[in-house]
Amino acid sequence: MKIQTLKTIFLADAVTCAAVFLATTLAAGPLAELTGLGAGTMSVGGFICLATALLLVWLATRAIPPVALCWAVVIGNLGWVAASFATIAMTPTITALGTAIVSIQAAGVLGFAILEAIGTRALQQPRTA
């Protein structure tokens, strides 16, 4: 995978993070009602996404993104997936729609983690002139 492809994946991930931040801050109440998740849970998730989006944009704007931070993003995304399924399991008030939304977003985040891991491994390969 080319560095530019990895940087494009980081930007796409950043856009989705920013969208989650906006949705959970602008519509936390209505989303909490629809999903059965608390508004506080929604807000915390949104602010985590904001911080992640900022890091992803920063990585995408580096000539060569730092490998350690790239792996941190991959690990963070995998942690988000695990936390998503833990949230489903530990939230007795979650609705069917909430379960579907959390599961679908977790699958998307897993997809980003896989692509970012592939790109980061490629980043570690020796470059030829």
Q: Residues 81-121: pLDDT tens digits?
A: 999 999 999 999 999 999 999 999 999 999 999 999 999 99
Distances (CA, A) of 32 to 40, 45, 62, 96, 127: 9, 12, 37, 13, 48
pLDDT band at residue 37, thresholds of 50, 70 and 90? Answer: very high
Indicate the pTM of the whole model. Answer: 0.92
Asked whether 26 and 50 are in contact (CB, 8 A), the reply is no
33-57: average pLDDT: 95
127: helix, strand or coil: coil
Asked whether 6 and 74 are in contact (CB, 8 A), the reply is no
Checking if the pLDDT of 18 tops 70, the result is yes
pLDDT band at residue 128, thresholds of 50, 70 and 90? Answer: low
pLDDT band at residue 129, thresholds of 50, 70 and 90? Answer: low
pLDDT band at residue 125, thresholds of 50, 70 and 90? Answer: confident
Rounded CA-CA distance 65/68 in Å is 9
